[in-house]
Amino acid sequence: MTNSNALTVLGRSNSSNVQKVMWLLDEIEQPCERVDVGGQFGGNKDADYLAKNPNGVVPTLIHGDAVVWESNAILRYLANYFRADALYPAESVARSWVDRWMDWQLSSLAPVNGLLFRRIVRTPAHERSQDAIDEAREQNAELFGLLDRFLERSEYLGGGSFSIADIAVGPLAYRWLTLPVERPHFRNVQRWYDLLCERKAFRKRVVEIGLS
């Protein structure tokens, strides 16, 4: 069991997975210390870090004696621990909608969204392949089209109110709508994204960080 309320997040601020966790902590007004790990800071393959997180990726949450890794698991942990029922409902059907979109984000959207991001932002201009970028762009467009069709009948991903499902998907939507690629205009995705942009925590932890 945890014996302290101190929260530490290990991970760099420009990681979309770290951004999810920091965004949620701001939403539930829980202060934490964030330590730069991964990317240009390194440290995520060191023995000490791997002892906490065997995957060697970020983020890792340290909460007293509890060490939690995998960003969506951290979202669920924090919502449960701090009883943020408005963001992660206890009722089984409502919770299943949140879980469905969180799982979709990990299994379907994140791989192709990360591919598009890396092929543009993390690849030097002289090494970029337009064919590879277009391939990833089309895969993203297909998935955001799916999301758009769902949002035609739902204000947020979990239903009528903001939830940790929106937090899970939001940083990847920011990438899609910010990267310099041609994309269809998905009216419902844009409407939902505009709602996210009204949230101070989203602007602070995602938009103001930018793409890097």
pLDDT in tens, 198-208: 999 999 999 99
Q: What is the pLDDT of residue 14?
A: 97
The arithmetic mean of pLDDT across residues 14-25, rounded, is 98
Phi-psi category of 204—alpha, beta or left, where left has phi over 0 and alpha has psi -120 to 50? alpha
Instruction: Tell me if 178 sits within 8 A of 190, measured CB to CB.
Output: no
**Backbone torsions φ then ψ of 10, nearest 5 degrees:** -95, 115
Question: What CA–CA distance (Å, rounded) separates 106 from 48?
Answer: 26
pLDDT at 85 over 60: yes
Omega within 30 of 0 (cis) for the link into 31: no
Mean pLDDT, rounded, of the chain = 96
- Evaluate if residue 146 carries a pLDDT over 70: yes
Q: Where are the domains of the chain?
A: 7-81, 92-205
CB neighbourhood size of 160 (10 A): 9
Q: What CATH number does domain 92-205 carry, 1.20.1050.10, 1.10.260.40, 3.40.50.1370, 3.90.1170.10?
A: 1.20.1050.10
Residue whose pair of structure tokens reads 């420009």 in the numeric block: 14
Quick one: pLDDT at residue 190? Answer: 98
* Whether 163 contacts 88, CB under 8 Å: yes
For domain 7-81, the CATH superfamily is Glutaredoxin (3.40.30.10)
- Average pLDDT value for residue range 99-122: 98
Q: Are 171 and 95 in contact (CB under 8 A)?
A: no
The number of helix segments (H) and strand segments (E) in the chain equals: 9, 4
Distance CA 152, CA 28 (A): 28
Burial of 36 (0-12, 13-18, 19+ CB in 10 A): middle
Is 94 within 8 Å of 157 (Cβ atoms)? no
Q: What local confidence, expressed as pLDDT, does residue 4 receive?
A: 56
